[in-house]
């Protein structure tokens, strides 16, 4: 059962702001929302994590509405080097910690392929 | 500080053989999780080890196994290789149980991966 839904792909131009939205209707009360960036033939790289409202770091902002059923990763002024696949990750109620029964199977979903052009 | 190190980076095997991949986590990280990535299936969770114990397991057959040593280094093994096992195998380390629900859970540092080709 898929726990996150993202657009398959997005196109943008250098210098624009890009917003990628992830839907996670079944998010649990204690789950955090985490975003990753992946370049071809490399492992994903942590971008940002949040629980509610807004989180900002040096590379991105994460907006989470009050109901937490979605989140939006905002990339300001993208460049060609931001062309990558972006994944959102939230807790997955299927499975869990074999010892305590909690936790998740770390389901990444299909991700969003962002293509930035000149 | 050193990142997550995976070895070997590339390997070619034939059907029926077995393979062992190694992952050295960031110093101090006690959780190591493994993933299989293919163009068709995306990034799929294999299992997670924390303090030498398997704490979480994805939906893969028993041919896929792993272990973690006292220094947190981890290995995964795939026996009786099939063509469909060709993939990029990624490991990730984290301070806390990656599959948990505390702040810091799901904050993973990935290695560069091991590219397995099965002929």
Residue A94 has pLDDT above 50, yes or no: no
Residue B38 has pLDDT above 50, yes or no: yes
Residue A95 has pLDDT above 80, yes or no: no
A108-A113-A116-A117 Cα dihedral, nearest 10 degrees: 170
Q: What is the mean pLDDT of residues A20-32?
A: 88
Q: Is the CB of residue A72 less than 8 Å away from at least one CB of chain B? A: no
Closest-CA residue of A relative to B57 is A105
- As a whole number of angstroms, the distance between CA A32 and CA A35 comes to 10
Residue A99 has pLDDT above 90, yes or no: no
Closest-CA residue of B relative to A102 is B100
Residue B13 has pLDDT above 80, yes or no: yes
> B residues 3-62 near A, CB within 8 Å?
4, 33, 35, 42-45, 48, 53-58
Q: Is the CB of residue A2 less than 8 Å away from at least one CB of chain B? A: no
Phi, psi of B89 (to 5 degrees): -105, 120
CB-side neighbour CA atoms (13 Å) of A4 = 30
Q: What is the pLDDT of residues A34-55, one digit of tens each?
A: 999 999 888 999 999 999 899 9
How many Å lie between the alpha carbon of A112 and the closest alpha carbon of chain B?
11
Q: Which residue has the higher pLDDT, B35 or A92?
A: B35
Q: Is the CB of residue A52 less than 8 Å away from at least one CB of chain B? A: no
Q: Is the CB of residue A110 less than 8 Å away from at least one CB of chain B? A: yes
The Cα-based distances of A111 to A37, B25, B42, B44 in angstroms read: 9, 25, 8, 12
Q: Is the CB of residue A65 less than 8 Å away from at least one CB of chain B? A: no
Radius of gyration of chain B, Cα coordinates, nearest whole angstrom: 14
- Cβ-defined contact of A51 to B103 (cutoff 8 Å): yes
Pull the structure tokens for residue B97.
Answer: 């149980």
Pull the structure tokens for residue B100.
Answer: 């948990």
pLDDT of residue A106: 72
Closest to A105 (Cβ–Cβ): which among B58, B97, B110? Answer: B58
Q: pLDDT band at residue A115, thresholds of 50, 70 and 90?
A: very high
């Amino acid at each position: 059962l898929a726990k996150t839904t993202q657009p398959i792909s997005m196109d943008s131009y250098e210098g624009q702001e890009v917003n990628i939205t992830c839907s996670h209707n079944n998010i649990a009360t204690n789950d955090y929302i985490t975003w990753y960036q992946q370049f071809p033939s490399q492992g994903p790289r942590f971008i940002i994590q949040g629980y509610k409202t807004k989180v900002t770091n040096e590379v991105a902002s994460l907006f989470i509405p009050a109901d937490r059923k979605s989140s939006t990763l905002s990339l300001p002024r993208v460049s060609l080097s931001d062309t990558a696949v972006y994944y959102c990750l939230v807790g997955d109620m299927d499975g869990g910690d074999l010892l305590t029964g909690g936790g998740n199977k770390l389901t990444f979903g299909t991700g969003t392929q962002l293509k930035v052009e000149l | 500080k050193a990142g997550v190190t995976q070895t070997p980076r590339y390997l070619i095997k034939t059907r029926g053989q077995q393979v062992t991949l190694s992952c050295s986590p960031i110093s101090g990280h006690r959780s190591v999780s493994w993933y299989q990535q293919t163009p068709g299936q995306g990034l799929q969770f294999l299992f997670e080890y924390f303090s030498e114990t398997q704490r979480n397991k994805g939906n893969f057959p028993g041919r896929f196994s792993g272990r973690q040593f006292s220094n947190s280094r981890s290995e995964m093994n795939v026996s009786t290789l099939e063509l469909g096992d060709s993939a990029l195998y990624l490991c990730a380390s984290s301070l806390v149980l990656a599959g948990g629900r505390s702040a810091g859970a799901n904050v993973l540092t990935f290695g560069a991966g091991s590219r397995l080709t099965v002929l």
